[in-house]
Amino acid sequence: ARLEALLQQYGSLIAWAVRRVAGPACQHHMEDIRQSVVVALWTQLRRGRTIAYPSAYIHRIAVRETVRAVARARAQSGEPLGDDIDHTAMDEPDDPALRREHRDAVRA
């Protein structure tokens, strides 16, 4: 029940973080990456972890899992890993509605 509540409340934050970090090159892997984020969150909840600041914690999990997925995809394709992954996570969304959602999620 706790996982469902977090996904309901922060699902758009997860989607935003995955899109921003993965970029357009990984559009076809977005759902797989999102599932990795959900599994990582579920694992922490199952272990009894208390999440004091859910928006920050979930954002960190989403970025971490997305970076891992992008690195795996690049390694499989033989493409060199670059510094571009880390910088995209800090960019503000271009869409004002997404910026507002992200800001509200962080404030919550």
Please give the chain's pLDDT, 108 residues, in tens: 889 999 999 999 999 999 888 887 677 788 888 898 999 999 989 998 888 899 999 999 999 998 988 888 878 877 655 555 444 444 445 566 666 776 676 666
The reported pTM is 0.65
pLDDT at residue 87, as a whole number = 44
The Cα-based distances of 108 to 1, 15, 35, 43, 59 in angstroms read 19, 17, 23, 23, 13
Half-sphere exposure of 86 (CA within 13 A, CB side): 3
**What pLDDT, on a 0 to 100 scale, did the predictor assign at position 89?**
45
């699902």: which residue's tokens?
11
Torsion angle defined by CA atoms of residues 20, 26, 27 and 33, in that order, rounded to the nearest 10 degrees = -80
pLDDT of residue 86: 43
Q: What is the pLDDT of residue 70?
A: 83
Q: Reduce the DSSP state of residue 101 to 3 states and report it.
A: helix
**Residue-level pLDDT at 24:** 79
What's the confidence (pLDDT) of residue 108?
A: 65
The dihedral through the CA atoms of 41, 43, 46, 47 has a sign that is: negative
